[in-house]
Structure 1
């Protein structure tokens, strides 16, 4: 199997595939059961690709010894043996060597000996107050190392290089890598003031300023300052000028890109590299938008995680989820399929995870992950002293290796997208409207609060307007978008403010000249990025509200994808918690009526005017909801024989 990642899509042996994976934390389980659990993932769940972290603290607990990948010091460290089992069983692997992994592992998987508290030679990550950023293990907070600090960077590079040379060098089942975790230290959604004010971070900030402005004279002219040396330029405070705040947001984006680049390069592998960003929080939406700029990452592929709440019942969680899925093409690399005690009791039932996995795909993700596919027990206390087994508490395969009630639901999703995933990816979302991100405003808003230009607030308002009308939309980065890409949309909504890059204003002016409508949320800019006069952007009048909502009745989100060359469509219906009765949806073939459980969902293939394969969730035990799942199109009904799920794949009902 040869895998590439093209525009966020996994291409396997030349064929685009929806990337369906399941995580198995081998390091938390008895090696004697590894083979049995892997067979269950393959045979019960229908999964072909396993993901697994490689915890640094697990494989190299002592600084004076080399990493153990063969089990010489403990059987659970034999990751080479684990990968050999995967290969023998026909499973492929996405390896995740960190160096920071979170995964409920002590100190996020970092060994204790890289903590600045233990080794003063290691530079700590600092926040805006000059205090070390700390990773909380229960009530104990330990300082985190500055990623670009020389001492830690040397040690992290040695770890990643050892993984590359000793674990990945031989031909085997590993088809891709994931580096870091949810930013750097599960920090992708933190405020811009949370890091990095360490000497190495500030040095990188000044290096970026030199690169952007060319010389100090140009910097002073644009900013209205009179610095005599770059060393005098400090990270901005809340009272700094707008451009200085925008610079700090841009620094965060390039800082994240640099850490990703250095860590990926250290592995020394030609395998595709992915990352898994945590979605934005509601208060820090602008901070996240400023920092997360996949356009800067080169060949490193965007991916994201869940861990934000139950989207079928929480409006904020749903918005965060959709924005993360739409920010860039890439897979959902961690969907909660097993944690009801650690996160929310709704995850005790498969309906919650089923809903969210389908939402990710409908909103733009190119794959999803079962985290975790297997419950584990028996890990060493130095790996994790906080969790009580099993981990997690309600996985599709339990800690005894037995398939639970979630397993058939995972299998249905895996089988559906194994059969139709290529065609699903060929289809495009039915979207007439887009939101154009202008990310300098995100950096400003992150440091200024509600005063001044915004990016996140207009985006959230746009999302809510579209959701209220039942309409899908696109998200574009205006600094990295072409006129051809803009031309695909009837309207583009952009945040307003005092300045905007000249090239962006020219782009939007060309779009309006070609018949598009630019809707500005706020004042139109009057100057460019150098503060030179530039007022090319003329806001358009909103178009007549003629787009019909596809939702005829019921409380649900719906997404329609249509094939550009064939009469094929995919309809995803995401039922909200509290809905009672059927959901009616307008489609190219007439009204489709779906009966599904509260908080459940359905995915349908429509072709040639008829219902094709489908998966509909009719049971949500958490909400004590059991309905006879069904779908009706033009009088033709396909339904379960009693309260329960409805699965039809390959024309055959499960």
Structure 2
């Protein structure tokens, strides 16, 4: 069996499919229940791939002893036995060996003996003020809280050597015998949400350690070629690379040279990710594709910029993009919605952690399956290639050596409870997994309807990330993340969608698929990027640039290629009409075209919605009106086939919002002269009623493969 990831889509022996997974933390359960829990997860949810972290601290608690993967020292360390059970149950596995995993474990899953507090050879990661970057350790402090321990520098020599030993052991002793086709492991995830769950942190949060700065200056050497060339561009007179200092304080850069220095530091952050990803993957040596799980941007005003300058999947050369979601309820929080959508749009890849189980730890809204159902469909609608249930099973068998912060069960409200019984959420997950088992390949091949593309020039993000909040919204300065967020809000309010395209890596052929590019400018821009955008304009496409027009290239020499092209651009705004419009109710709607009069309509109902939702849909040669009754905070996914309603998913219940409705969907074609159903026209009303599918009472409703299902609590 050949496993590949192509443009973020899982291919098995050449056949594409949507990646539907659920996490099971075997290390938190007694081995005696592993088989039963996995079987219940499989049978109750339809999930056929599980994701599992391999905690370093769990399998190698002592530095001078080799890792235990067979249960020789303790039964719950029998990782090979766990993977054997997965294989026997026909479950694929995404192996996640860290080295840092978070997962609510002590010290993020790192062993105590790799901490700088206990191992003087390990250099701590430092922030801009020279303070160690901290994480929850594995001891209580005098006040009963958890001690905060320094994290290692990811490029420190001793830490890197011990990480290499751990990953080589996983590769040799675990993956070599369990990777497909002989075993269940189909993919590998490296690291966690950046390196140490730090993908969303500010650019001044890390890593200013000596190993980090050595790596930073080595990157400058590669970038500029020589110290003389660096000095010429930056207006400095350094005699040694060690004299080059990184930025440490937020402020408004005085000139283009000061901006370029900030861009250098942003590139360093993206280099840190790439260096660790490739080094750790090389040590692991897997025979299957490797992906990562970036967390979305944080909520602060500067966070979009910090994230965009750090997260550069186009530079990872074979490491595949994935993302998580732990930042709020998107059906009621506009900021959470924007952050989540950007993570799903940044590059093709699967959602690798969607919260389906934690209400006490995060937000009570997650007690209802409708919350996670809504978010999973949103991720897919805007670009994700897979969904995940985190975690699929509640566990209760761990000790303080693994996690002394949380009490059982972990988590509190997943699809399978701590007694191994399916909950209401299991049926909701089953709707999703069964629907995409039938239609996943077609869904992913369908083309999303978008009206604009944000032209990402990462150096602008690296500059804007340092601007004080009081001046960051000044439209006359360099910008990226904030104007992108503003574009997101404008288009969402207008019922429109967008994409993100990386301008430093795009080819002219790729850019041609983005007829309307929107971006914010700055003082300089790479000459090659200016040439690319200028040619795009000359080819008849539109570039909408706000803010300053760049008049310098990346070496800060005069370059007006883009300015000249913009001056010649036709003075008319490129407008691309949306094929889908919400005409009643509080909801977002997304359309993916799968052919003539065919495609997938996703309707995401907001938490404040009351009453039916109406959507007008342009199918090309025909138009249609869709009328939905869906629970507040719920969602609907409809397959339209040749102008008729085919399979669908509808949410009728959201216990958290006390919303229980009888779900229904009405679908009616309209004509050019009759673009909406006329309530006074009894024939039209009767026609719509005839084409309405309705449950018999409050429930979730699905039709999959033409078979109607009603899911009641």
TM-score in terms of structure 2 length:
0.90
2:526 is matched with 501
Partner of 2:287: 270
Q: Is the 8 Å Cα contact of residues 431 and 489 (structure 1) preserved in structure 2?
A: no
Aligned equivalent of 2:68: 68
CA distance in 2, matches of 1:234, 1:316: 34
1:558 to 583, 586, 589: 589
Q: How does 1:12-23 map to 2 (within 5 A)?
A: 12-23=12-23
Counterpart contact for 1:19–1:331, Cα < 8 Å = yes
Measured after TM superposition, the shift of residue 531 of structure 1 is: 1.2
Structure 1 residue 488: Cα displacement: 2.3
Q: Give 1:518's aligned residue.
A: 543
1:344 and 2:374 matched:
no
* Aligned pairs for 1:294-443 within 5 A: 294-443=313-462
SS class of match (1:550)? strand
How much has 1:484 moved relative to structure 2?
A: 2.2
Matched, 1:465 2:490: yes
Aligned match of 1:650:
705
Q: Which runs of 5+ in 1 are unaligned?
A: none
Do 2:582 and 2:589's aligned partners in 1 also have CA atoms closer than 8 Å? yes
Larger radius of gyration: 2
User: CA offsets, 1:23-53, max 9 Å, x none?
Assistant: 0000000110100011011110101101000
SS at the partner of 2:545? strand
Which residues in structure 2 correspond to 1:75-154 (within 5 Å)? 75-137=75-137, 138-154=145-161
Is residue 478–residue 548 contact of structure 2 (8 Å, CA) maintained in 1?
no
CA distance in 1, matches of 2:369, 2:114: 39
For the residue of structure 2 that corresponds to 1:10, the secondary structure is strand
Say which of 593, 612, 633 aligns to 1:599: 633
The whole-number CA distance in structure 1 between the counterparts of 2:574 and 2:17 is 39
Q: Residue 230 of structure 1 aligns with which residue? A: 241
Deviates more, 1:294-303 or 1:526-535: 526-535
Q: Does 1:259 align with 2:276?
A: yes
Aligned: 1:42 with 2:73: no
Residues in 2 aligned to 1:190 and 1:577: alpha-carbon distance in whole angstroms: 29
Deviation at 1:543, TM superposition (A): 1.7
Displacement, 1:432? 2.8
CA distance in 2, matches of 1:33, 1:510: 61
Tell me whether 1:641 sits opposite 2:696 in the alignment.
yes
Change in CA separation of 1:181 and 1:544 when aligned onto 2, cut-off 3 Å: closer
Shift of residue 584, structure 1, vs aligned partner:
1.4
Question: How far apart are the structure 2 equivalents of 1:585 and 1:566?
Answer: 19
Query: Is 2:208 the counterpart of 1:174?
Result: no
In 2, the alpha carbon distance for the partners of 1:590 and 1:396 equals 36
Paired residue total: 653
| Residue of structure 2 aligned with 1:207, choices 202, 218, 224 | 218
SS in 1 for 2:37: helix
**CA deviation profile, 1:108-130 (whole Å, cap 9, x unmatched):** 00000000011111111111111
- Superposed displacement of residue 642, structure 1: 1.2
Q: 2:370 & 2:31 partners in 1: Cα distance?
A: 31
Q: Which residue of 1 aligns with 2:52?
A: 52
User: Of 298, 304, 307, which residue of structure 2 is paired with 1:288?
Assistant: 307
2: CA distance between counterparts of 1:119 and 1:525?
Answer: 49
Segment drifting more, 115-124 vs 130-139:
130-139
**1:568 is matched with which residue?**
598
- Residue 568 of structure 1: CA displacement? 2.4
The counterpart of 1:630, out of the listed 651, 657, 664, is 664
Q: Which secondary structure does the structure 2 equivalent of 1:480 belong to?
A: coil
C-alpha displacement of 1:533: 1.1
What corresponds to 1:220 in structure 2?
Answer: 231
CA deviation vs aligned residue, 1:124-172 (integer Å, no higher than 9, x gap): 1111111111103554100111111111111111001100001111131
* Cα shift at 1:400: 0.4
Deviates most, 348-357 or 432-441: 432-441
CA contact (8 A) 1:432 1:488 kept: no
- Structure 2, unaligned runs of 5 or more: 138-144, 669-687
Partner of 1:156: 163
Q: CA deviation at 1:546?
A: 6.8
| Counterpart residue number, 1:186 | 197
Larger mean Cα displacement after TM superposition, 475-484 or 248-257: 475-484
State the shift of 1:542 in Å. Answer: 5.4
Deviations 1:399-457 (A, max 9, x none): 00100010110000000000000000110101131110111011111223345411101
CA contact (8 A) 1:237 1:447 kept: no
Q: What is the CA–CA distance in structure 2 between the aligned matches of 1:375 and 1:575, rounded to whole Å?
A: 29
